[in-house]
Amino acid sequence: MTRSPTKEQLLKMTTNPPTSTPAPCSAAAERMRRHRERRRDGLRCVVVEIRNTEIDSLIRKGMLKADARNDPYSIQMALYEFLERTLD
pTM of the model: 0.61
Per-10-residue mean pLDDT of the chain, 88 residues long, equals 71 65 85 93 92 97 97 96 92
SS3 47: coil
CA distances from 48 to 26, 27, 51, 75, 79 (A): 27, 24, 10, 11, 10
Residue 4 φ/ψ, nearest 5 degrees? -75, 140
Separation between Cα atoms, residue 80 and residue 16, nearest integer Å: 47
Q: How many CA atoms lie within 13 A of 84 on its CB side?
A: 7
